[in-house]
Amino acid sequence: MDDTRKALGSWISGPQAAAEDAGADFGYRGKRLGLPEDGPGSIAPTGRRLGAVFIDWVLCQLIATQLIARGDTGLASICTSGLFLLMSVVLVGTTGTTPGKRIFGLRVIGLGGARATVVQALIRTFLLLLVIPAVVWDRDTRGLHDKAARTVEVRA
């Protein structure tokens, strides 16, 4: 009975918890990437990243609705996506941050620690707009969009 309960408990907790119970040490988020555990340069918290994307999206939506006639919501949605793509590629590719990321104290860097390139920003943003790659994470909470672009979002 105890073996069944233990097996069920490990299934509910997930594979990482079961591996940790067996003695595996995964460390903190970002350890295997060579990032610090806390402070500047550490992996950005999920809540801050979501807040930054929300602010950037709302900013692009406000601009799009002012550029497009208010009655055409389909065109405004396309314009919002285009503005988001343009803003993210230009700003992340040149400064490593967007207005939302700056407000939340975040920046995007390449895996080597250097500023993300424009090509990396383009790959990352395009996949971010597809949504699904952004919500599939690894144990460092890096989405597939960051893995494909070889980038990581860190605290500034």
pLDDT of residue 33: 86
Higher pLDDT, 24 or 93: 93
**pLDDT, tens only, 76-92:** 888 899 999 999 999 99
Specify the higher pLDDT residue, 33 or 2: 33
Please, are residues 117 and 90 in contact by the beta-carbon 8 Å criterion? no
| Average pLDDT in the chain | 86
What is the rounded CA–CA span in Å between residue 80 and residue 41? 30
Tokens, residue 19:
């591996």
Strand partners, 137: 143
CA torsion 67-127-122-151 (nearest 10°) is: 130
Whole-angstrom distance, CA of residue 146 vs CA of residue 86: 18
Residues in the chain: 156
CA distance 108 to 113: 9
Could you read off the pLDDT of 5-57 as tens digits, one per residue?
555 555 566 666 666 666 666 678 888 888 898 999 999 999 999 999 999 99
